[in-house]
Amino acid sequence: MKKQIALVPGDGIGPDIVGEAVRVLDAVAARFGHAFTFAECLAGGVAIDARGEPLPAETLQACRGADAVLLGAVGGPKWDALGGSQRPEKALLGLRGGLGLFCNLRPAVLFSQLRDACPLRADIIGDGLDIMVVRELTGGIYFGDRGRNAAGDEAYDTMRYSVAEVERIARLAFGIARQRHRRVCSVDKHNILETSRLWRETVTRVARDFPDVALSHMYVDNAAMQLVRNPRQFDVIVTENMFGDILSDEASMITGSIGMLPSASLRLDHFGMYEPIHGSAPDIAGKDLANPIATILSAAMMLRYTFAMPAEAQAIEQAVGRVLDAGLRTADIAAKGEATVGTRAMGDAIVDALA
Annotated catalytic residues are 142, 189, 221, 245, 249
Contact yes or no for 280/179 (Cβ under 8 A): no
Contact yes or no for 8/70 (Cβ under 8 A): yes
Determine how many CB atoms are found less than 10 A away from the CB of residue 49.
Answer: 13
State how far the Cα of 97 lies from the Cα of 261, in Å rounded to an integer.
23
Alpha helix locations (H) across the chain?
A: 14-32, 45-51, 57-65, 90-98, 122-125, 163-178, 194-207, 220-229, 241-253, 293-301, 310-325, 343-354
Contact yes or no for 324/113 (Cβ under 8 A): yes
Determine how many CB atoms are found less than 10 A away from the CB of residue 29.
Answer: 17
State how far the Cα of 237 lies from the Cα of 107, in Å rounded to an integer.
10
Reduced to 3 states (helix: H, G, I; strand: E, B; else coil), residue 140 is helix
Contact yes or no for 240/188 (Cβ under 8 A): yes
State how far the Cα of 253 lies from the Cα of 250, in Å rounded to an integer.
5
Reduced to 3 states (helix: H, G, I; strand: E, B; else coil), residue 276 is strand
What is the per-residue burial (b if ≥16 Cβ within 10 Å, else e) of 185-207? Answer: bbbbbbeebebbebbbebbeebb
Cα dihedral 51→53→57→61 (10° resolution) = 100
Contact yes or no for 199/207 (Cβ under 8 A): no
State how far the Cα of 74 lies from the Cα of 72, in Å rounded to an integer.
7
Beta bridge partners of 38: 5
